[in-house]
Amino acid sequence: MPELPEVQTTVDGLKSKVLKRTFVDVWSDWNKLVKKPKEFIQFKKELKDKKINKIWRRAKNIIFDLSDNYSLLVHQKMTGHLLMGKWELKDEKWISVKRGPLDDPYNRFLHLIFFFDNGTMMALSDARKFAKVELWKTDELINSVEFKGLGPEPLDKSFTFEKFKEALARKKSGKIKQIIMNPEVIAGIGNIYASEVLWQAKIHPEKNVVKLSEKELKFLYQAIKKVLKLGVKLGGESFSDYRKPDGTKGDFDTERKAYKREGLKCMRCGTKIKRAKVAQRSAFFCPNCQKLK
């Protein structure tokens, strides 16, 4: 699933392409991707002629603030990603006009295409069709239960060490990996970066949050900032489905130290990386560097 670095990479990549552009049409072969309004024909009608005034991220959500006090929300879920390009329909299949990154097999699952006033197109490629697209009145979105329940943004300047400790205090007990992945505690961290952050901080993923020392909390706070910033700088992780808006891969794979490295040597001490289940999700860690004390 695209996490904070991938979503931020998408937002940054779209700003130079669609900001100030106006929607003129939208096509879909899987209307269920659009959750709000429920009827696709209504979604299409309401979106038409809306101008994009701002693009930003909240947790793992991409938000397009539009004219007339509307906002378009896109959550890419497990296998979705937004692409910029030009496609033409041939034999009921959308084919990229120009050969290149958009011909990557992970970019072929086009189920929603937006058309803009300058002839450009933005597509949602989603192999498993789990993505979520919603059109809201902006004030209703900002005040929605979902948005009000989100935790702080870990890369915001306001996310101080004290704010971090306050966020963790919302959960009085629990395994630390599960807690930092909870969007009500901290926004945007998923399975990949949770394993990377905990490896960086030398903290076992199953350690109870109440047993973390002040020193460990400081290391964890610093690791979250460091790993997520690097993830954004490198354009996210693309060992699986995710691709940037231009169709190319992100480069965080070159920096992956723990996630999906089971059986490989720890890059810090040489011990083999292990995998454990934490809340039904895989956690990758070094049993020597990240001891469960």
Q: Which helix H or strand E contains 1, and what residues bound it? A: none
**Inter-residue contact 31 to 40 (CB < 8 Å):** yes
**Inter-residue contact 78 to 134 (CB < 8 Å):** no
Angle at 194 between CA 188 and CA 197, to 5 degrees: 110
**Inter-residue contact 159 to 222 (CB < 8 Å):** no
Neighbours of 210 (CB within 10 A): 12
**Inter-residue contact 283 to 193 (CB < 8 Å):** no
Pairing of β 34-36 and β 132-137: parallel
Domain boundary among 85, 120, 148: 148
**Inter-residue contact 275 to 284 (CB < 8 Å):** yes
For residues 114 and 189, state if they share a domain.
Answer: no
pLDDT tens across the length of the chain (293 residues): 799 999 999 999 999 999 999 999 999 999 999 999 999 999 999 999 999 999 999 999 999 999 999 999 999 999 999 999 999 999 888 999 988 888 999 999 999 999 999 999 999 999 999 999 999 999 999 999 999 999 999 999 999 999 999 999 988 899 999 999 999 999 999 999 999 999 999 999 999 999 999 999 999 999 999 999 999 999 999 989 999 999 999 999 999 999 999 999 999 999 999 999 998 999 999 999 999 97
The answer to the question of residue 255 being in a domain is yes
For residues 171 and 96, state if they share a domain.
Answer: no
For residues 79 and 191, state if they share a domain.
Answer: no
The answer to the question of residue 85 being in a domain is yes
Paired with 112 in beta bridges are: 28, 124
**Inter-residue contact 129 to 30 (CB < 8 Å):** yes
Q: Which domain holds residue 177?
A: 161-285
The answer to the question of residue 154 being in a domain is no
Domain boundary among 106, 126, 148: 148
For residues 240 and 104, state if they share a domain.
Answer: no
For residues 27 and 130, state if they share a domain.
Answer: yes
Paired with 113 in beta bridges are: 27, 123
Domain boundary among 148, 178, 202: 148
For residues 10 and 132, state if they share a domain.
Answer: yes
**How many structural domains does the chain have?**
2
The answer to the question of residue 80 being in a domain is yes
The answer to the question of residue 18 being in a domain is yes
CATH code of the domain covering residue 242:
1.10.8.50
Backbone angles phi, psi at 71, to 5 degrees: -135, 135
Residue whose C-alpha is closest to residue 72's, from 118, 29, 34: 34
Active site (catalytic) residues = 2-3, 60, 281
- DSSP state, 207? S
CATH code of the domain covering residue 21:
3.20.190.10
The answer to the question of residue 73 being in a domain is yes
For residues 268 and 173, state if they share a domain.
Answer: yes
The answer to the question of residue 292 being in a domain is no
The answer to the question of residue 223 being in a domain is yes
Residue whose C-alpha is closest to residue 72's, from 31, 102, 35, 107: 35
For residues 89 and 170, state if they share a domain.
Answer: no
For residues 136 and 166, state if they share a domain.
Answer: no
Residue whose C-alpha is closest to residue 232's, from 15, 11, 1: 11
Beta strands, E only, 142-200: none
Contacts of 106 (CB under 8 A, 6+ apart): 81, 125, 127, 241, 243
